[in-house]
C-alpha cells in the first residue's frame, strides 16, 4: 500500500505516517503543500491513496482536490481535516474524493479507513453525516450561516482576513463583511473577542 500524505503540520504528518508504516505496513511519502504533493504524484505516482489536508497551502478550499484527482490517474484521493463541517465532506465526495477523514479520529480507526479507501471503497465517518442530518448541533451555531461558521473557524485559528479569503476562495472584502456580521451576532467588540466567545462556548 503506497500512500502520499500531504499536510503542513509536521507533528500530524509524522504521527500519521509512523502509525501507517508501523501498524499498516504502508509506504508513506510525505508532502507539505499541494504543489509538493502534485510533484510527487507526477514523479512517483500514481499512489494507492492520496491524503490531502483541507487547509494546507495551495488547496484553496477544494480546488486542490480536483487537481490531485486528475494527477493520480483515477486512484483514490481523500481529504483530511481538523474541523471542516459535514457540508465540506459532502462537497468533497461530490467532486470525486474517495473519503473524508477527521484528524480527531483514533489511530486504529484511521488505519482501517485508509485500508478501506486504498481498496477503492468510499469512507466517511457516520458521526459526520449524522451531524449534518441534525443542524441544531450547537446553540451558537444556530445563529450563524455555514459560511459564517467557516469564517469564524478561521478567526479561531488566528488567520488573517487574507488567509481566510484564500482558504475559502472568496474576496478579502467579503471576509471583512462576514467578520463584521459575526461580531454583531456574537455581541463581540472585535474579531479577537468573537474567536474567544466561540472557543469558550466550545464551538471550535
38 and 104 assigned to the same domain: yes
For residue 37, which of 12, 81, 5 has the smallest C-alpha distance? 5
| Whether 6 and 101 share a structural domain | yes
Q: What is the pTM of this model?
A: 0.63
Report how far apart, in Å, the C-alpha atoms of 131 and of each of 78, 128, 140, 146 are.
Answer: 20, 5, 15, 13
Cell of 125: 465517518
| pLDDT 10s digits, 111-158 | 999 999 998 898 887 666 555 544 445 677 778 888 888 899 899 888
Q: Quick one: cell of 196?
A: 474567544
| Backbone conformation region of residue 82, classed left if phi is above 0, alpha if psi is from -120 to 50, else beta | alpha
119 shares its domain with 152: no
- Taking a C-beta distance cutoff of 8 angstroms, is the pair 170, 179 a contact? no
How confident is the model at residue 84, as a pLDDT? 67
Whole-number Cα distances in Å, 198 to 67, 71, 86, 87, 151: 33, 38, 18, 20, 12
Whether 195 and 168 share a structural domain: yes
Q: What is the CATH number of the domain that holds 92?
A: 3.40.50.2300
Looking at the fold, whether 128 and 143 belong to one and the same domain comes out as no
All three cell numbers of 42? 507526477
**Same-domain check for residues 101 and 172:** no
- Last residue of a domain, which of 108, 132, 156? 132
What is the reported pLDDT for 141? 76
CA dist., res. 121 & res. 197, Å (int): 40
Domain total of the chain: 2
Q: Of 92, 115, 132, which residue sits at a domain end?
A: 132
- Parent domain of 97: 2-132
pLDDT tens-digit series, residues 33-66: 999 999 999 999 899 999 999 989 999 888 899 9
Amino acid at each position: 500500500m503506497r500512500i502520499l500524505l500531504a499536510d503542513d503540520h509536521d507533528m500530524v504528518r509524522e504521527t500519521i505516517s509512523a502509525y501507517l508504516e508501523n501498524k499498516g505496513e504502508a509506504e508513506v511519502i510525505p508532502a507539505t503543500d499541494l504543489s509538493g504533493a502534485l510533484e510527487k504524484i507526477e514523479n512517483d505516482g500514481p499512489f494507492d491513496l492520496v491524503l490531502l489536508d483541507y487547509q494546507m497551502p495551495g488547496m484553496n478550499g477544494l480546488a486542490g482536490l480536483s487537481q490531485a484527482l486528475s494527477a493520480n490517474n483515477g486512484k483514490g484521493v481523500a481529504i483530511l481535516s481538523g474541523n471542516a463541517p459535514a457540508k465540506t465532506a459532502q462537497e468533497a465526495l461530490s467532486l470525486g474524493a474517495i473519503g473524508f477523514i477527521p484528524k480527531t479520529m483514533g489511530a486504529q480507526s484511521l488505519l482501517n479507513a485508509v485500508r478501506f479507501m486504498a481498496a477503492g471503497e468510499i469512507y466517511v465517518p457516520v458521526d459526520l453525516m449524522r451531524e449534518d442530518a441534525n443542524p441544531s448541533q450547537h446553540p451558537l451555531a444556530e445563529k450563524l450561516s455555514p459560511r459564517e461558521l467557516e469564517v469564524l473557524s478561521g478567526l479561531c485559528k488566528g488567520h488573517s482576513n487574507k488567509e481566510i479569503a484564500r482558504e475559502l476562495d472568496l474576496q478579502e472584502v467579503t471576509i471583512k463583511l462576514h467578520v463584521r456580521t459575526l461580531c454583531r451576532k456574537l455581541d463581540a467588540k472585535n474579531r479577537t473577542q468573537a474567536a474567544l466567545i466561540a472557543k469558550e462556548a466550545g464551538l471550535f
